[in-house]
């Protein structure tokens, strides 16, 4: 009896050990950051994410489409795990690979990347098989856990590009609401500022859509879809191109929960810069400032007018410099100065460039290298610098071509497109231009049925090929400024990018620009500089002019746009504002201000802040027609509520004290900038 009892007890104990062993073997725990944890279920192909005891994501899984059928990590039952140490631009970390196998499906790898000191992780998937053809991969799908019930969460829409006067949109996420965003989104609460940031950090192969949705039971779903196209967002009229081969990788997706969603977006921008480092040469000169002709002069460019603008800068705007430099940039219609087309006589352009240099200024030029403006005249025209006709160079889309903004897309991989680029850039360099503004770059990223280069199968691959070819021709000779362009993918190819679409002189132009800064200021950590577009004063009120000028300062650089070849109110306004050396010092670090408030829909925050050392700058904008009083809550702008600060108004130079809940009055359409000195 005693033996039987001991045997049964021993058997029970062994079974208990096996049971617990099976349970522990079915779960892999991955730690990240201070208290982050990814809990992967080897039996289910799913994972949960938490921060300490707080759940962040439940029932996470990955998906892909193969032979027109959608499958997921949950379909696999044979899953193994390996872990290896890595060291790269993110620092020291670990690569966690879950290998999933099942007959009839490609092998799937779910790969998690964690790094020491980083309170976020990245996840991607890889499919392996014979001659795969894939255009839909979802590294991350699951349910976000929102514990705050006192306020509706905000879901951020980020545009794919800055074309067609598109706006960022901070969308209240209510029941039965879905919000698709290009490449990245934030889901946050404005008052607490707690929030998630989820987005792709690789853009060389895929367009990625980040979809947040709340169902009728108020569960919040999140999907990161590589292979996402939607005409209203990515401009594409056809589905995403297919990646082909024996191994297909998704883009890596960034996931983090932050006490302040703004710092999360800045971490995300920096992660993009690390994942896809700049190819363009490093910019070491000062923050760009200067002038661009599209603001007012537009199609009226002549050599005389361009030289007169140069003279005005040399004689009347002597202080409007950064690092001793200002650029004078000729936008579209510079070809008014040509004889014989793009491969013809550039002597007038060279004369302009020489004159600018003689006055201590740097000449700039403009071009849209991936579009055909004359497509209405037919495709039999021969492209400058080549023997190819434009009709063979147009990007093929379904039964037609891709037309937007009055221009037709050119295939970036076509030798005719490339020979044309070589011809024109060579002419620009011979003229001595030191800056180039490149425009309508989104045309180069469009999906096509097929590209001239058969190795290129997606729009983002074509964009990469086109931009890399363009940079080789530029050969490190110019400051490169992108106007209309993909928001995330352009970071490695240009020094400077316009944050929004065209903006001119009205308070509405100012608010439109600052909508993009309110929601996209974080791109200041992806690019060397972001820009508010040409600042036009014209004959607007002093208040409106001040607001337009400060919108540029808040964005981080300043390009003026009035026609200074003739005299008007704008001339004296420019002398008063652009020669303000104290204001220009704010631009020295080249970084944008961060918004104080973030849930303004398609509108803009009224307050922006930036800290440089022991100085905090506060910008305030009144977008309304009527005077308005602003009560400053120090807790929202990062100041001690118990302290009285010494501050200076950088417009009036008046110095006074500033305390918590103090009211500041602004006239209609007006703005101000305050320099606050912090105690060390």
| Plot region of 55 (φ>0 → left; ψ -120 to 50 → alpha; else → beta) | beta
**Distance (Å, rounded) from C-alpha 540 to C-alpha 668?**
13
- The pLDDT, as a whole number, for residue 22 is 36
Per-residue pLDDT reduced to its tens digit, 67-83:
989 999 999 989 999 99
Domains of the chain listed by start with CATH number: 32-275 (2.70.98.10), 289-592 (3.20.20.70), 595-677 (2.60.40.1180)
Three-class secondary structure of residue 200 per DSSP: strand
- Residue 1 pLDDT exceeds 80: no
- The pLDDT, as a whole number, for residue 680 is 61
- Residue 582 pLDDT exceeds 60: yes
- The pLDDT, as a whole number, for residue 499 is 97
Higher pLDDT, 176 or 17: 176
- Residue 57 pLDDT exceeds 90: yes
- The pLDDT, as a whole number, for residue 444 is 98
**Distance (Å, rounded) from C-alpha 433 to C-alpha 362?**
7
**Distance (Å, rounded) from C-alpha 214 to C-alpha 226?**
21
- The pLDDT, as a whole number, for residue 15 is 34
Per-residue pLDDT reduced to its tens digit, 301-356:
999 999 999 999 999 999 999 999 999 999 999 999 998 888 889 999 999 999 99
Q: Which of 4-8, 108-112, 281-285 has the lowest mean pLDDT?
A: 4-8
Q: How, if at all, do strands 655-658 and 529-531 pair?
A: unpaired
**By percentage, how much of the chain surpasses pLDDT 70?**
96
- The pLDDT, as a whole number, for residue 323 is 93
Local structure of residue 382 (DSSP, 8 states): B
Within 10 Å of residue 456's Cβ, how many Cβ atoms? 21
- The pLDDT, as a whole number, for residue 7 is 34
- Residue 454 pLDDT exceeds 50: yes
**Distance (Å, rounded) from C-alpha 161 to C-alpha 485?**
5
**Distance (Å, rounded) from C-alpha 675 to C-alpha 249?**
48
- The pLDDT, as a whole number, for residue 456 is 98
Per-residue pLDDT reduced to its tens digit, 346-369:
999 999 999 999 999 999 999 999
Read off the pLDDT band of 25 (50, 70, 90): low
Mean of the pLDDT values across residues 368-373? 98
Q: Are 62 and 108 in contact (CB under 8 A)?
A: yes
Report CA-CA distances (Å) from 429 to 292, 566, 590: 19, 29, 26
- The pLDDT, as a whole number, for residue 20 is 38
- The pLDDT, as a whole number, for residue 517 is 97
**Distance (Å, rounded) from C-alpha 409 to C-alpha 372?**
6
- The pLDDT, as a whole number, for residue 151 is 85
Please state the φ and ψ torsions of residue 419, each to the nearest 5 degrees. Answer: -65, -35
Q: Which of 125-129, 145-149, 283-287, 508-512 has the lowest mean pLDDT?
A: 145-149
Q: Residue 516: enclosing H or E segment and its boundaries?
A: helix 507-520
Structure tokens at 260: 């302040």
- Residue 168 pLDDT exceeds 90: yes
Report CA-CA distances (Å) from 586 to 254, 316, 386, 543, 575: 32, 21, 47, 20, 18
Mean of the pLDDT values across residues 279-299? 97
Per-residue pLDDT reduced to its tens digit, 86-125:
999 999 999 999 999 999 999 999 999 999 999 999 999 9
Mean pLDDT of the chain: 94
Per-residue pLDDT reduced to its tens digit, 631-654:
999 999 999 999 999 999 999 888
Tokens 């680029």 belong to 421
Read off the pLDDT band of 149 (50, 70, 90): confident
Higher pLDDT, 214 or 149: 214
Q: Which of 507, 599, 577, 520 is nearest to 548 (CA)?
A: 507
CB-based burial of residue 55 (10 Å sphere; 0-12 exposed, 13-18 middle, 19+ buried)? Answer: middle
Q: Are 461 and 474 in contact (CB under 8 A)?
A: no
Report the Cα 601 to chain-centroid distance in Å.
Answer: 18
Q: Which of 66, 261, 30, 253 is nearest to 141 (CA)?
A: 253
- Residue 4 pLDDT exceeds 70: no
Mean of the pLDDT values across residues 152-175? 96
- pTM here is 0.94
- Residue 10 pLDDT exceeds 60: no
- The pLDDT, as a whole number, for residue 143 is 97
Q: Which of 333, 298, 332, 293 is nearest to 313 (CA)?
A: 293
**By percentage, how much of the chain surpasses pLDDT 90?**
92
Q: Are 367 and 438 in contact (CB under 8 A)?
A: yes
């Amino acid at each position: 009896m005693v033996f039987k009892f001991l045997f049964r007890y021993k058997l029970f104990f062994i079974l208990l050990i096996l049971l617990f062993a099976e349970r522990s073997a079915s779960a892999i725990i991955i730690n990240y950051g201070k208290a982050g944890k990814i809990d992967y279920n080897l039996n289910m192909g799913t994972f949960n994410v938490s921060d300490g005891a707080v759940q962040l994501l439940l029932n996470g899984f990955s998906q892909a489409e193969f032979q027109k059928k959608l499958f997921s990590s949950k379909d696999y039952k044979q899953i193994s795990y390996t872990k290896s140490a890595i060291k790269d631009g993110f620092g020291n970390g670990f690569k966690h690979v879950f290998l999933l196998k099942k007959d009839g499906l490609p092998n799937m790898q779910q790969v998690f990347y964690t790094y020491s000191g980083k309170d976020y992780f990245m996840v991607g998937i890889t499919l392996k098989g014979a001659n795969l053809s894939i255009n839909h991969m979802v590294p991350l799908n699951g349910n976000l856990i929102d514990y705050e019930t006192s306020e509706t969460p905000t879901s951020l829409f980020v545009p794919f590009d800055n074309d067609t006067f598109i706006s960022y949109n901070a969308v209240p996420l209510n029941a039965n609401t879905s919000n698709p965003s290009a490449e990245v989104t934030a889901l946050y609460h404005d008052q607490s500022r707690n929030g998630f940031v989820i987005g792709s950090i690789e853009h060389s192969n895929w367009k990625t859509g980040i979809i947040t949705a709340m169902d009728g039971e108020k569960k919040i779903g999140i999907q990161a879809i590589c292979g996402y196209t939607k005409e209203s967002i990515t401009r594409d009229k056809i589905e995403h191109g297919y990646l082909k081969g024996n191994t297909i990788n998704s883009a890596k997706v960034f996931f983090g929960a932050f006490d302040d969603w703004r710092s999360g977006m800045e971490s995300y921008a920096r992660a993009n810069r690390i994942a896809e480092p700049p190819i363009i040469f490093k910019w070491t000169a000062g923050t760009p400032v200067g002038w661009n002709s599209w603001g007012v002069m537009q199609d009226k460019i002549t050599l005389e007018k361009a030289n007169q603008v140069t003279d005005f800068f040399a004689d009347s705007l002597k202080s409007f410099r950064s690092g001793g430099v200002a650029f004078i940039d000729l936008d579209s219609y510079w070809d008014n100065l040509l004889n014989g087309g793009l491969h013809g006589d550039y002597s007038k352009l060279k004369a302009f460039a020489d004159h600018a240099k003689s006055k201590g200024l740097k000449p700039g030029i403009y071009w849209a290298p991936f579009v055909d403006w004359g497509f209405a005249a037919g495709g039999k025209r021969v492209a400058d610098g080549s023997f190819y006709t434009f009709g063979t160079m147009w990007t093929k889309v379904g039964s037609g071509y891709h037309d937007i903004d009055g221009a037709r897309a050119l295939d970036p991989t076509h030798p005719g497109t490339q020979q044309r680029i070589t011809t024109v850039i060579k002419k620009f360099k011979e003229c001595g231009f030191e800056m180039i503004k490149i425009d309508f770059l989104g045309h180069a990223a469009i999906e096509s049925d097929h590209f001239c280069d058969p190795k290129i199968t997606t729009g983002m691959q074509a964009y990469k090929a086109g931009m890399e070819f363009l940079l080789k021709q530029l050969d490190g000779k110019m400051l490169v400024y992108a106007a209309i362009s993909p928001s995330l993918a352009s970071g490695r190819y240009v020094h400077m990018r316009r944050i929004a679409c065209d903006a001119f002189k009205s308070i509405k132009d100012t608010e439109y620009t600052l909508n993009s800064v309110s929601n996209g200021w974080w791109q200041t950590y992806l690019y060397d500089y972001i820009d508010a577009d040409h600042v036009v004063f014209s004959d607007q009120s002093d208040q409106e002019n001040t607001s337009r000028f400060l919108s540029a300062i808040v964005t981080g650089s300043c390009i003026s746009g009035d026609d200074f070849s003739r005299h008007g109110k704008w001339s004296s306004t420019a002398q008063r504002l652009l020669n303000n050396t104290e204001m220009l010092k704010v631009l020295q670090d080249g970084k944008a201000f961060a918004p104080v408030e973030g849930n303004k829909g398609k509108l803009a925050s009224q307050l922006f802040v930036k800290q440089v050392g022991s100085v905090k700058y506060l910008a305030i904008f009144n977008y309304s027609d009527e005077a308005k009083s602003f009560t400053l809550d120090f807790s929202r702008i990062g100041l001690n509520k118990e302290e009285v600060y010494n501050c200076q108004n950088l417009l009036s130079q008046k110095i006074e004290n500033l305390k918590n809940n103090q009211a500041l009055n602004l006239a209609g359409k007006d703005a101000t900038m305050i320099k606050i000195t912090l105690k060390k």
